[in-house]
Amino acid sequence: MVSEKELAKLQRAIVQCRHCPRLVAWREQVAREKVKRFADESYWGKPIPGFGDPQARLVIVGLAPAAHGANRTGRMFTGDRSGDWLFRVLYRFGFANQANANHRGDGLILRNCYITAALHCAPPQNKPTADEKENCFAYLEQELILFSHMQIIVALGKIAFDTVVKCCKKIAWLDSRERPVFFHQGEYQLHNDVKLIASYHPSQQNTFTGKLTEPMFDAVFERAAQVVKN
């Protein structure tokens, strides 16, 4: 089971991180300049730690915080359109107590679910550099090790999927010669009996164009719910 003390220590380390000068400058600039619709709000403007149930059997890995979503609210997927999709589906399948997430004090509780990301700072144009992805890699590695009792990982988008695969190879949950391919609902068995499922990211680009539909997203989390119940 997860040591809540160790998890809290890791979350504090993430919030204090300043390893990537470009990302530090960008997240703080966005927090200062804001956008008109959030002009009266105080932005978080720091790295976003993972959150959820410390004993979760489902771990969700996203790409990175949105500049005016989590970078504003201080909680993963909270306050943006991607989060609207994610928390609706988590509520439908019993992983959340409510279908919306607007701010850190909104009463949201995740059940048997923990949400983290490949990167913990908002990158300009949602495009992190190779060095920035590498700098954040150790945090995901530590999180997966802490949650080694989990049953399933859902990776949202190719960057998240590739980062999880790389991490699983490093900690010997996948053989270095294995080459899992990203595609929606792609499912892989890891060596520690954890399942890895790929999903398109619920970004506006994917949802507005129909690349990802709600039935497609439901199918991923219906499968996750089946695995967790077994």
Residue spans of the domains in the chain: they are 4-229
Confidence of residue 193 (pLDDT cuts 50, 70, 90): very high
Look at residue 40 in the predicted model and tell me its pLDDT. 95
The whole-angstrom distance between residue 112's C-alpha and the CA centroid of its chain comes to 15
Over residues 136-161, the mean pLDDT reads 96
Who's near 147: CB < 8 A, 6+ residues apart? 2, 56, 59, 114
Look at residue 230 in the predicted model and tell me its pLDDT. 74
Look at residue 3 in the predicted model and tell me its pLDDT. 86
Beta bridge partners of residue 43, listed in sequence order:
none
In angstroms, the CA 115 to CA 9 distance is 17
What is the four-CA torsion angle of 26, 29, 31, 32, rounded to 10 degrees? 180
Residue 1: count of CB within 10 angstroms of its CB: 9
Q: What is the pLDDT of residues 89-102, one digit of tens each?
A: 999 999 999 999 99
Confidence of residue 2 (pLDDT cuts 50, 70, 90): confident
Answer yes or no: is pLDDT of 169 > 90: yes
Q: What is the pLDDT of residues 63-82, one digit of tens each?
A: 999 999 999 999 999 999 99
Query: What Cα–Cα distance (Å) separates residue 229 from each residue in 87, 186, 217?
Result: 19, 20, 19
Structure tokens at 106: 């909104």
Answer yes or no: is pLDDT of 1 > 80: no
- CATH topology assigned to domain 4-229: Uracil-DNA Glycosylase, subunit E (3.40.470)
